[in-house]
């Protein structure tokens, strides 16, 4: 079987998807706790540097494989921006003003965006009726959260934060399609290279913003930063690349359906966030849309 051929998901693959769902949903809680003290730039930089430090020894032990051409380096640079640096900054900045639950809900639109991108960029993964229904449900849910007055309130911080999260979701959809094109570097070493590049990018950007008062960051925030670096950034990055390579970006994206559910519930339980009725309605629409899009069309008789 060619190395780039995807296979049917196994129970172990499905368990990995569930684990990633819980880990990534919990990341929004950790960001909400730490970002007021670190700021979005340093939060993104610190978590990525920790993730890189976790992966580097293993990658060196296995033998670090570097790209052999300027074209490959340029491609990885774009992936590092779209998959790590830009979405991490957008999400961290957004959570200064919106709840962890709303952030996770809006990021749950990523699979729907992936369906649209697949329709535009492939010849064999076009939008059919179930996918169209799913996309319609999902974006109706977005409209409920963002609100009918969004265009009139673009100067409002909450609206801009919500748009930033949708931008991060688009970045993940784009980078997910790109990652599968990289077949000459194993997942762990690929994740290490991308996190290393993103670390440099984010530290440079954060330094321009100025140094925070690290001594003033409390213990809970430091624990949140360490957790973000170890699990949602380090371990989850390896698992994401490996699963995309084995079961495909489309199935992987649909497997993330539960992120908004866990995110909204964790925000309500752990941070006592108030969940508006429109948020619950939007959550139901987005999740229904994701599962509707996953339903195969009926075969003609």
Q: What is the pLDDT of residues 160-175, one digit of tens each?
A: 898 899 899 889 888 8
Cα–Cα distance measured from residue 179 to residue 197, given in angstroms and rounded to the nearest whole number: 15
272 exposure class (CB count in 10 Å sphere: 0-12, 13-18, 19+): exposed
Token readout for 228 is 């973000």
| Average pLDDT of the chain to the nearest whole number | 82
- Structure letter (DSSP) for residue 126: -
**Roughly how many angstroms between the first and final C-alpha of the chain, as a whole number?**
33
Token readout for 163 is 């748009």
Q: What is the pLDDT of residues 244-278, one digit of tens each?
A: 777 776 677 666 667 777 888 888 889 888 877 87
Instruction: Classify residue 72: in a domain, yes or no.
Output: yes
Total domains in the chain come to 1
Task: Provide the 3-class DSSP secondary structure of residue 154.
Answer: coil
Instruction: Classify residue 178: in a domain, yes or no.
Output: yes
Cα–Cα distance measured from residue 98 to residue 273, given in angstroms and rounded to the nearest whole number: 10
Closest alpha carbon to 55 in 186, 224, 181: 186
Token readout for 71 is 């074209």
Instruction: Classify residue 259: in a domain, yes or no.
Output: yes
Neighbour-count burial for 45-55, b at 16+ CB within 10 Å, e otherwise: bbbbbbbbebb
Closest alpha carbon to 145 in 157, 132, 131, 159: 159
Q: What is the pLDDT of residues 44-80, one digit of tens each?
A: 999 999 999 989 998 898 888 888 889 889 999 999 9
Q: What is the pLDDT of residues 122-152, one digit of tens each?
A: 665 567 777 777 777 777 777 776 654 444 4
Asked if residue 250 lies in contact with residue 177, where contact means CB atoms within 8 angstroms, the answer is no
Instruction: Classify residue 2: in a domain, yes or no.
Output: no
Token readout for 137 is 């449900």
Between the CA atoms of 149, 33, 31 and 163, what dihedral angle is there, to the nearest 10 degrees? 10
Token readout for 238 is 């390896």
The residues near 123 (Cβ < 8 Å, ≥ 6 apart) are: none
Asked if residue 159 lies in contact with residue 151, where contact means CB atoms within 8 angstroms, the answer is no
Q: What is the pLDDT of residues 206-227, one digit of tens each?
A: 999 888 888 899 999 999 999 9
Asked if residue 288 lies in contact with residue 47, where contact means CB atoms within 8 angstroms, the answer is no
Helices (H), 97-186: 100-107, 110-121, 129-146, 157-179
Q: What is the pLDDT of residues 1-50, one digit of tens each?
A: 344 567 777 888 888 888 998 898 899 999 999 999 999 999 999 999 99
Q: Print the domain residue range for 249.
A: 11-294
pLDDT at 193 over 90: yes
Task: Look at phi and psi of residue 156 and say left if phi exceeds 0, alpha if psi is from -120 to 50, else beta.
Answer: beta
Instruction: Classify residue 3: in a domain, yes or no.
Output: no
Query: What is the chain's Cα-based Rg?
Result: 19
SS (H, E, C) 6-50: CCCCCHHHHHHHHHHHHHHHHHHHHHHHHHHHHCHHHHHHHHHHH
Q: How far is CA 207 from CA 42, 124, 199, 216, in A?
A: 8, 45, 12, 18
Instruction: Classify residue 300: in a domain, yes or no.
Output: no
Question: pTM of this prediction?
Answer: 0.80
Instruction: Classify residue 113: in a domain, yes or no.
Output: yes
pLDDT of residue 217: 92
Cα–Cα distance measured from residue 86 to residue 32, given in angstroms and rounded to the nearest whole number: 18
């Amino acid at each position: 079987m060619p190395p780039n051929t995807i296979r049917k998901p196994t129970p172990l693959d499905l368990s990995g998807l569930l684990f990633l769902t819980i880990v990534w949903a919990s990341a929004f809680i950790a960001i909400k706790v730490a970002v007021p003290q670190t700021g979005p730039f340093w939060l993104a930089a610190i978590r990525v540097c920790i993730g890189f430090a976790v992966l580097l020894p293993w990658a060196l032990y296995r033998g670090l494989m570097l790209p052999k051409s300027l074209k490959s380096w340029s491609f990885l640079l774009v992936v590092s921006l779209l998959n790590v640096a830009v979405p991490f900054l957008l999400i961290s900045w957004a959570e200064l003003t919106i709840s962890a639950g709303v952030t996770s809900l809006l990021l749950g639109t990523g699979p729907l965006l992936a369906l649209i991108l697949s329709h535009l960029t492939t010849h064999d993964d076009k939008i059919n009726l179930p996918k169209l229904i799913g996309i319609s449900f999902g974006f109706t849910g977005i409209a409920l959260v963002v609100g009918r007055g969004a265009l009139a309130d673009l100067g409002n911080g909450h609206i801009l934060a919500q748009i930033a999260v949708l931008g991060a979701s688009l970045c993940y959809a784009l980078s997910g399609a790109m990652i599968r094109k990289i077949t000459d570097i194993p997942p762990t070493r690929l994740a290490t290279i991308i996190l290393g590049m993103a670390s440099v990018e984010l530290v440079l950007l954060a330094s321009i913003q100025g140094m925070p008062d690290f001594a003033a960051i409390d213990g809970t925030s430091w624990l949140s930063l360490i957790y973000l670096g170890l699990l949602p950034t380090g371990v989850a990055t390896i698992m994401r690349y490996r699963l995309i390579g084995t079961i495909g970006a489309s199935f992987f994206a649909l497997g993330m359906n539960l992120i908004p559910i866990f995110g909204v519930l964790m925000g309500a339980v752990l941070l006592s966030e108030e969940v508006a009725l429109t948020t619950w309605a939007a959550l139901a629409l987005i999740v229904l849309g994701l599962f509707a899009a996953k339903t195969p069309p009926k075969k003609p008789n």
